[in-house]
Amino acid sequence: MNALVRKIESRLAGLPVPVAIQLPAGQRVGPAAAAVTLSFKDWSGLATMAAGQIGRIAEDFVESRVQLEGRMRDLMAVAARLVPGSPVESNASWFTQLARRARSIAHHSPQKDAEQIQFHYDVSDDFYALWLDPRRVYSCAYYASADMSLAQAQEAKLDHICRKLMLRPGERFLDIGAGWGGLLMWAAEHYGVNATGITLSKNQHAHVNRLIDARGLKGRVRMELRDYRELDEGQGFDKIASVGMFEHVGEANMNAYFGKVRRLLKPGGLVMNHGITAGGVGNSQVGAGMGDFIGKYIFPGGELLHISHVLKDMALAGLEMVDTENLRPHYARTLWAWSDGLEARLDEARAVLASTLSAPEAERVLRAYRLYLAGCAMGFEQGWTSLHQILATRPDHDLQSGSLKGAQSTYPFKRDYIYR
């Protein structure tokens, strides 16, 4: 044990903020005035820390085997320094790829997807409302100016997407994975589209339908509890958005997903795919146990692909990428805003969760979300994960359509219209 303690002491010396460790036997290692204190119930947790298995330490915190004291921002600065090597290195062996694909297939049937989405998004609407913006937009915001609040940046993101899609009054617009209806309502109320949203979350479905009734949008906006695979391809949509959804599709289903999107889109139409991408070329989750933690406690079945793989799958499905924008640091700032919002209201969050869960389960969920939001903010800052908006078309093969010969779509092949 002395060797392990010495190893821990050497790790503490190089950390960006003062850290103290409370050992299982009661003794304390580190400064008295530490910014972060970790108290371990058993020695195995210390060995995990020494090995840099950040995800395992996070699991021990959720399960009350480790106690953490200090600001989340300080804790994440420490966690980033403890990670050994790069957490986005990939194991590209044929066996690893085969096993990953088999796991992806098993985790993404329509029934499994519904269960996994409801596991996350149906935790509690009131819980999410504590730390999201008033529109409950649960995806990367767009900080068009440095002084924007979270609410302003989310509205800027909604409008950024609508402008990129060149939405026009009367167009048939589909939002795949419409969440609590932020984009659906914005597109209908500000751009006059005929909007359809789908979700697998029962809570979100009920919430958005209440909004539709309250705002007098029945007949022009609809929200369906439906899997994207079930959508009717008969009529076609002029424009499609998928925001924060394709992370749940699974690598094995990516070709089929983009193929479905292409068939739902009218020839010449535009689709915006906005989602999290992997920081490494060959990894489907972040290493050092962090991806495993998120899969267990937050997003079961979630899988990430590098932007190069996403673009390949889109091209194979017959979609032409016309614009790609990386918003990675915007998501870091968004997640810190969510994290700070939750940290400021921990007692309220605990009470809200305890209204539908047992007290121990409410505490587990709260601890998991605290680490998830702050940990993801740190991961986006570090470049371990990224966020891309990909605008694509379904070419109509009419060389005379569009503003330029050969455009074959409504896309003008210049960017100035987005920023007017």
CATH number (domain holding residue 37)? 3.30.1050.10
Q: Which of 80, 161, 368, 376 is catalytic?
A: 376
pLDDT at 120: 59
Q: Is residue 45 part of a domain?
A: yes
Residues 78 and 162 in one domain: no
* pTM of the entire predicted model: 0.90
pLDDT at 402: 87
Q: Is residue 350 part of a domain?
A: yes
DSSP code, position 52? T
Of 60, 82, 104, the last residue of a domain is 82
- CA–CA separation, 286 and 86 (whole Å): 9
Task: Note the pLDDT tens digit of each residue in 64-119.
Answer: 898 999 999 998 898 888 887 677 765 554 444 544 554 545 555 676 555 655 55
Look up the domain containing 48 and give its range.
2-82
pLDDT at 4: 67
Of 24, 52, 82, the last residue of a domain is 82
CA 318-320-322 angle, 5° bins: 165
Q: Is the pLDDT of residue 122 over 70?
A: no
- Contact (CB, 8 A) for 318 and 394: yes
- CA–CA separation, 173 and 363 (whole Å): 40
Confidence band of 406 (pLDDT split at 50, 70, 90): very high
Residues 189 and 295 in one domain: yes
Task: Note the pLDDT tens digit of each residue in 362-374.
Answer: 999 999 999 999 9
Residues 410 and 374 in one domain: yes
Burial class (CB in 10 A: 0-12, 13-18, 19+), 416: exposed
Percent of the chain beyond pLDDT 90? 61
Amino acid at 330: H
CA 312-314-317 angle, 5° bins: 110
Q: Is residue 294 part of a domain?
A: yes
Residue 376 a catalytic site member: yes
| CATH number reported for the structural domain that contains residue 189 in this entry | 3.40.50.150
Q: Is residue 317 part of a domain?
A: yes
Task: Note the pLDDT tens digit of each residue in 31-59.
Answer: 888 999 989 888 887 777 777 788 888 88
- The number of folded domains in the chain is 2
With H, G, I as helix, E, B as strand and everything else as coil, classify residue 285.
coil
Q: Is residue 89 part of a domain?
A: no
Residues 156 and 11 in one domain: no
Q: Where are the alpha helices (DSSP H) in 148-284?
A: 150-164, 182-191, 202-214, 254-264
Residues 240 and 112 in one domain: yes
Residues 207 and 70 in one domain: no
